[in-house]
Amino acid sequence: MKAKRYAMTMDTKRCVACQACVLSCKAENDLPDKGFRDWIVQETRGEMPTLSQENRSERCNHCDNPSCVSACPTGASYVGPGGTVLVNQHKCSGCKACIAACPYNARYVHDEGYIDKCTFCMHRVQKGEEPGCVDVCPTRALHFGDLSDPQSNVSEDLKKRRHKVLEPERGLDPHLFFLV
């Protein structure tokens, strides 16, 4: 069996920018008040009455070439199971080099001093559950799965739908795909 490569697809057509994913993440991961591992962007373009809008639920892109991991001087940022980019909080010195290196602004300083970010809820995934944001989403806009499996929901999404990633020109090979 091929090694897993976890990824997420985010359907901008389904999303209504309600923020349930953000709050579910905060509750699931018991985050400090100022800590956010995911967030909503609602982008409106054009002039009245010709307007268009895109809703995105954003988080760490769990890149294949993670600039944060390269930037980390202590080895706290690492590539974990299924290609997820994780932080070992015990090794983290809180130097913020990873924050500077991440073009997605996916990391923040936890109240306890270490750098925190989305884990794709690996503690849930390992139990066979979906990440907290995916689990709650009332519009089912978020899919989580294994990109190495051509039959997985995320592989199917990418086959069927037009999609994009953010900041593709940086060559980080992000694994959060926006279905447009």
Partner 1 sequence: MLNRRQFIQIGAGTAGVAALSGASTNWWGLDKNPLHDPGTEGEKIIPTFCELCFWKCGVLAHVKDGRVTKLKGNPAHPLSLGKLCPRGVGGTGLLYDPDRLKTPLIRRQSKRGEQLFEEATWEEALDLMANKMGQVREKYGPEAIALFSHGFGGAWFSHFFKAIGTPNISAPSYAQCRGPREVGYYLTYGQGCGSPENIDIENARCITLIGSHLGENMHNTQVQEFADAMANGAQLVVVDPRFSTAAGKARYWLPIKPGTDIALLLAWMHVIIIEKRYDIDYIDKHAAGFTELREHIADKTPEWAHVLTGIRPELIRETARFISSFKPASLIHPGRRTTWYGDDTQRARAMAILAALLGSWGRRGGYLNTSKLDVPGFPYTTSYPEHRPQVDRPKPSLYPLADEVLASGVCDATIPGTSSYDIKAWVVYGTNLIQCLPNPRQTKKAIQELDFIASIDVLPSEICGWSDVVLPESTYLERCDEVWTPDYKVPFLAVRQPVVEPMYNSKPGWWIAKELAKRSGLEDYFPWKDSVEYAKFRVTAAGYDCDELQRTGVIVGQGAPTCEEEGLALSFSTDSGKIDLYSKPLAALGFDPLPQYTPPDEAPAGMFRLLFGRAPVHTFGRTVNNRFLSLITNDNEVWVNAKVARDLTGVGILKTGDRVVLINQDGVRSEPIAAKVTERIRGDCVYMIHGYGHSAKGLRFARGRGASDSELVTQYKVDPIMGGTGMNVNFVRIERATQADEAGATRVREGAA
Q: How far is CA 102 from CA 31, 68, 128, in A?
A: 20, 6, 29
Find the binder of partner 1 among 8, 10, 60, 69 (CB under 8 A): 69
The encoded tokens of residue 51 equal 């307007």
* Amino acid symbol at 16: V
Give the three-class secondary structure for 59. Answer: strand
Residue 80, interface with partner 1 (CB under 8 A)?
yes
In the complex with partner 1, the residue whose CB is nearer, 53 or 105, is 53
* Amino acid symbol at 168: P
Burial label for 162, CB within 10 Å (0-12, 13-18, 19+), is exposed
Q: Please tell me the distance from the alpha carbon of residue 11 to that of residue 180, in angstroms, as a whole number.
A: 7
Q: How far is the CB of 111 from partner 1 (least distance, A)?
A: 14
CA 19 to chain centre: 14
Interface with partner 1 in residues 149-178 (CB under 8 A): none
Interface with partner 1 in residues 103-132 (CB under 8 A): 119, 122-123, 126
Of 69-77, 95-103, 149-157, 162-170, the segment contacting partner 1 by CB under 8 A is 69-77
Q: Which residues pair with 45 in a beta bridge?
A: 52
In the complex with partner 1, the residue whose CB is nearer, 104 or 125, is 125
Q: Which residues pair with 108 in a beta bridge?
A: 116
Q: How far is the CB of 33 from partner 1 (least distance, A)?
A: 6
In the complex with partner 1, the residue whose CB is nearer, 77 or 152, is 77
Q: Which residues bind partner 1 (CB under 8 A)?
A: 2-5, 11, 13-20, 22-24, 26-30, 33, 42, 44, 46-49, 51-55, 64-65, 69, 74-83, 86, 88-91, 119, 122-123, 126, 135-141
